[in-house]
Structure formats: C-alpha cells, structure tokens
Amino acid sequence: MSYENFSYYYDSLMDPAFYNDYIDFINKHAKFQSVLELGCGTGEVAIRLAKQDKSVVATDLSDDMLYVAKEKAMAENAEVNFKRVDMTNFESNQQADLVLCLCDSLNYILDENDVKKVLMNAYQALKMNGTFIFDVDSLYKCNVILNDYHEESHDDDFDFCWDVKSDGAGSIEHHVVIIDRENDDCVDEIHHQKTLPVHVYGEMLKEAGFSYTVFSDFDSYKEECERLIFVCKKEM
C-alpha cells in the first residue's frame, strides 16, 4: 500500500536532523551534479540537494507524497523535477551521476524479483562511474527492535498511535492511526515492508553490475543496527 492521507502528517513525525545527516553522508560518498531519487516521499532530500544547486529529478509512486513534495519545493523556491514513477518499472531518458533510494523506500518492494528490477533500473539510470545509494531496514530492526513495537503520543489537538507486527523473518506490518482534532481528520493506514539479509542484497547488486560498500546508521557496518546503507558504484 502506498502512502495516502498519512503523507500529510509524515514530516511532523520525522526529525529534520536525520535528513541533514543524510545530506552530509551523500556528499561524503558521491561526486555528482545530476540526481535521480526513487521514492522521494515528501521531497526533503531532493529539496536540500536542489538548494545546493544540484540538478534533481525526484520520483515517487504516491500522488499524495508528490503533492506534499511539490508544495514544499514551491514554498522553499527549490527547483526539483517531480515525477510519478514506479521504481520497479521505468526507463530513464537521461543518465544521472547519482541515484538515490532512501528512508527504507526499497523495503516497500515486497517481491524479491521486483527488488532485483529496482537495482537493475538504478544501474541503467546511472552514468559510468556513477553512484547509487540506497538504504533498508536491517533484519535486526525488523525482527527484534520492531517486534510487537508500540508507540503513541497525545496532545490537545493530535493523537498518534503506531503498532508494528513482525513475522520474525524480515516482514513487518505497520498500523498507523492519527486523530487530528484541530483539522477534524482521521488517518488509519496499514503498510507492509520486507527486508532481506545483507548477502542477498549483495548478490543482487553484483548481478546488476555494481560494486558496493555497506554502512550501518551512517557508520561502519555492524550486524545489530537499525539502517543499512549501501553505497554502490557502476564500474562495468
């Protein structure tokens, strides 16, 4: 399920410092001017890169996410070319220096063959010696941290409740409920994600033609982490 009404509340639940850390990580590990982002969400990374004078094409499957992203880019006077794209099935007319797929967007691709398609598409969309950076939730996060996870918050105008179920094998179900009394709105959505072992992603990347390095939460790799970040190079 793609994001729907939850798209309009997504930014209020995210820490802006996380995106700043990601921009620093990207600039450290890639040399680029042109960018293609897959699963751009509300456009936070795309807008930041555009404000660094990068040429940015940002894509997502969710019309609601794209609507929010376009409104923000306009408000911040950031020049981003937003497009509705299915990352499992697209062709790029112009190759980029950098392809991004961040914030566990790839975990919404539940079929392993479709994950392979995304990696192949990213390879084809890159210039030679270009960089592909993507992240996924780790198995440790999905199977341990998020196992029967519950979070909620309440204030005068806004109630938020988030429950996660894990199957113990990399698949999780998110149930998000938001009651917005100020705007008389209620969000009740279920989202499914799936992650794979590191070596499986590695085999897929090698099959696509990439060399790669794995990081954990912006640092060196360790098994017990929340986020795995793959920095991949097109060298073939």
Give tens-digit pLDDT for 63-87: 999 999 999 999 999 999 999 999 9
Torsion region of 210: left, alpha or beta (phi above 0 gives left; psi -120 to 50 gives alpha): beta
Dihedral of CA atoms 170, 43, 88, 136 in degrees, nearest 10, equals: -20
Rounded Cα gap, residues 134 and 228, in angstroms = 8
Residue 15 pLDDT > 90, yes or no?
no
Q: Which amino acid is at 179?
A: I
Q: What is the pLDDT of residue 1?
A: 43
Residue 187, pLDDT > 70, answer yes
Q: What percent of the chain has pLDDT over 70?
A: 96
The reported pLDDT for the residue numbered 10 is 75
In eight-state DSSP terms, residue 109 is -
Q: Are 75 and 51 a contacting pair, CB within 8 Å?
A: no
Angstrom distance (rounded) from CA 99 to CA 106: 13
Look up the pTM and report it. 0.95
Give just the sign of the alpha carbon dihedral 206, 211, 215, 221: positive
Which pLDDT value is given to residue 4? 52
pLDDT-derived band at 230 (thresholds 50, 70, 90) equals very high
pLDDT value, residue 157: 86
Lowest average pLDDT, out of 16-20, 71-75, 80-84, 141-145, goes to 16-20
Write down the pLDDT at residue 228: 98
CA 49 to chain CA mean position, Å: 15
Write the CB contacts of 100 (distance below 8 Å, at least 6 apart in sequence).
26, 35, 36, 37, 38, 45, 132, 133, 134
Q: Can you tell me the distance from the alpha carbon of 128 to that of 116, in angstroms, rounded to the nearest whole number? A: 20
